Amino acid sequence: MDKIVLAGGNPLQGRLRISGAKNAVLAILCATILLREEIVLENVPDISDVQVMSGIINSLGAATVWEEPEVLRVKPPASAAEAEAPYHMVKKLRASNLLLGPMLTRFGDVRVSLPGGCNIGVRPMDLHFKGLAGLGATLLLDHGSVRGRTDGRLTGARIYLDFPSVGATENIMMAASLAEGQTLIENVAKEPEVVDLANFLNAMGARVRGAGTDVIKIDGVTELKGGGRYAIIPDRIEAGTFMVAAAATGGDVTVENVIPLHLEPLSAKLREAGAVVREEGDSLRVSVDNPLRSIDVKTMPYPGFPTDMQSQVMALLTTVPGTSVIVENIFENRFMIADELKRMGGRIKVEGRMAVIEGVPGLYGAQVKATDLRAGAALLVAGLMAAGETEIGNAHFIDRGYHRLEEKLISLGARVWRNT
C-alpha cells in the first residue's frame, strides 16, 4: 500500500485535531534513556518514525507499550547491556543520532550507525561531536558508525554552536543534564521542540534554563528520576500542512489543539498571500475570500519560516498568479519536489538555493513520487488542488510524519485512498 491516490478539486472544509509533534517525541523518546523510572507519554502520534524510534530504544534495553491510542508507556533501560543501535533500524531514521548524548551520559558507552532519514542534503554531525567532545566524551568514527565513550561522568563546559542546529542543541542538552557541573550552550536552536525537550527534562528533575532563547544553561544533576506523565506539544508542521492545503484548495479549515505562536511564521506568510488566518483559542482557522497573491519565502531557524513547510508552500504557490521566490537556507538539497510539481503542470526554476515559481492557472493530476517526508506532504497539497487523479508513490515517506492522514483528509471532504 505504498501509493496514495487523490481525486483533486474539492475545497477542504471542516475541523481537525492535530496530533503530537513528531520531532518533539523523537527527541523525548531518546531522553527516556536518561531516566530511572517509567514514564507515560501522552499525545504521541502513531507514525512510522515513532515506531522505528521505539524499536531502537527497545533494542537498547527499554520497553515501550501503547497503553491506549496516543499514550505510550516507556520503561527505560536499566543498564547498557546493549550499547549498539542496530543499523537496519538506525538507517531509517536520522533522529537516531539523538541517542548519542543520552547513552553517553547515562552509560558511558554508545555505538550508533550513521546516518539515515530523509534525503534532503549532506546533514553533517560536526556540531553534535564538537559539543559532546567538549563535555569530555571520546568519539571515533569507524565503518559508518560513531563509537562514543566517557571516562566517568561528563563534565560541564561552555559550548558555542556555529549554527543553531536543532539536533546538536538537543544532544548536548541531554548529555549535559547528567554531567558534572554547569554547561552553557551558546547560539542554540530555539525551535519549540527544543523547548519541549527542555521542559520534559526539567519535569524529570533536570535543571535546564533558557530553552527558547539563544543560550541554554544546564546545571548537571546525578540522576533523572522519571515517573508520572508528560504530554507532547502539538505538531506545528502537521498543522501547517493542513493550513496550506486549506488555502491551496480555497477551503475553510480549523486546526484544533495547536499552539498558534508556533505557527506564526507560517500564518504571517499565508496572510501576506491573502488568506484569512484567525486565531480562536488553541485553534487556527484558515479560509480564502479573495484570489491569493504571490509571495517570497526564506527558510530560517525558528522563529523564521520553517524548512519543513517549504515544499508544501511551493506546491501552494504553483497556482498563485505572479512570480514567487523561495530561498532555502537550511538544507541545500530540498528542492527535489520541484521536478515532481512540474510533472503536474507547475512552472518552477531552481537555481542553487533559490526556486522561482511562476503561477499557472491550475495543476493536473499525474503519477508522482515522494522523495522525502515533506516533499510527500507537498504532493498531497498539489494533488488536492489538481484536476483529476494524482497517484503519489513512496507513500511510506509520508507515513513517517502524518498520523491518521487519510482519516483526517476524508473528514475534511477530500477524496483519497491507498493503492498497492
Least distance between ligand UD1 and beta carbon 294 (Å):
25
How far, in Å, CA of 212 to CA of 202, rounded?
Answer: 14
Interface segment toward ligand UD1; rule CB under 6 A; list 120-128, 140-148, 249-257, 410-418? 120-128
Does 124 bind ligand UD1 (CB under 6 A)? Our answer is yes
Closest to ligand UD1 by CB, 94 or 403: 94
Strand 252-256 versus strand 215-219 pairing type: unpaired
30 in active site? no
Does 311 bind ligand UD1 (CB under 6 A)? Our answer is no
Closest to ligand UD1 by CB, 64 or 165: 165
Closest to ligand UD1 by CB, 26 or 52: 26
Does 167 bind ligand UD1 (CB under 6 A)? Our answer is yes
Q: Tell me, by CB under 6 A, how many residues bind ligand UD1.
A: 23
Does 400 bind ligand UD1 (CB under 6 A)? Our answer is no
Least distance between ligand UD1 and beta carbon 31 (Å):
13
Does 238 bind ligand UD1 (CB under 6 A)? Our answer is no
Helices (H) then strands (E): counts for the chain: 14, 24
Does 95 bind ligand UD1 (CB under 6 A)? Our answer is yes
Does 331 bind ligand UD1 (CB under 6 A)? Our answer is yes
Does 144 bind ligand UD1 (CB under 6 A)? Our answer is no
What residue has cell string 544546564? 218
Does 371 bind ligand UD1 (CB under 6 A)? Our answer is no
Amino acid at 303: P
How far, in Å, CA of 302 to CA of 312, rounded?
Answer: 17
Which entry of 118, 195, 245, 344 is annotated as an active-site residue? 118
What residue has cell string 482519516? 407
Does 310 bind ligand UD1 (CB under 6 A)? Our answer is no
Does 307 bind ligand UD1 (CB under 6 A)? Our answer is yes
Instruction: Please say whether the beta carbons of 99 and 33 come within 8 A.
Output: yes
Does 223 bind ligand UD1 (CB under 6 A)? Our answer is no
How far, in Å, CA of 298 to CA of 265, rounded?
Answer: 11
List the grid coordinates of 170: 538537543
Closest to ligand UD1 by CB, 29 or 270: 29
Least distance between ligand UD1 and beta carbon 162 (Å):
7
How far, in Å, CA of 18 to CA of 245, rounded?
Answer: 14
How far, in Å, CA of 15 to CA of 413, rounded?
Answer: 11
Interface segment toward ligand UD1; rule CB under 6 A; list 115-123, 137-145, 349-357, 387-395? 115-123
- In the stretch 188-207, what mask flags binding to ligand UD1 with x, by CB under 6 A? -x---x--------------
Among positions 196, 252, 308, 372, the unique one binding ligand UD1 when judged by CB under 6 A: 308
Give the C-alpha distances (Å, rounded to integers) separating 412 from 237, 283, 403. Answer: 18, 16, 15
Instruction: Please say whether the beta carbons of 145 and 113 come within 8 A.
Output: yes
- In the stretch 17-36, what mask flags binding to ligand UD1 with x, by CB under 6 A? ------x--x----------
In 224-372, which ranges are continuous DSSP H helix?
Answer: 236-248, 264-272, 310-317, 337-343
Among positions 128, 190, 236, 403, the unique one binding ligand UD1 when judged by CB under 6 A: 128
Task: Return the closest-CA partner of residue 175 out of 210, 137, 211.
Answer: 137
Among positions 137, 168, 211, 286, the unique one binding ligand UD1 when judged by CB under 6 A: 168
Does 185 bind ligand UD1 (CB under 6 A)? Our answer is no
Closest to ligand UD1 by CB, 252 or 372: 372
Least distance between ligand UD1 and beta carbon 122 (Å):
6
Task: Return the closest-CA partner of residue 252 out of 274, 284, 281.
Answer: 284
Among positions 29, 132, 146, 166, the unique one binding ligand UD1 when judged by CB under 6 A: 166
Helix axes 166-177, 22-31, angle to 10 degrees: 30
What sign results for the dihedral spanned by CA atoms 269, 392, 386, 284?
negative
Dihedral angle computed from the Cα positions of residues 119, 120, 122 and 128, in that order, rounded to the nearest 10 degrees: -100
Does 402 bind ligand UD1 (CB under 6 A)? Our answer is no
How far, in Å, CA of 173 to CA of 3, rounded?
Answer: 39
Does 150 bind ligand UD1 (CB under 6 A)? Our answer is no
Residues with Cβ within 8 Å of residue 131, at least 6 apart in sequence: 159, 161, 168, 171, 172, 175, 185
List the grid coordinates of 311: 515544499
Residues designated as active site: 118
Which residues of the shown chain bind ligand UD1 in the complex (CB under 6 A)?
23, 26, 94-95, 121-128, 163, 165-168, 189, 193, 307-308, 330-331
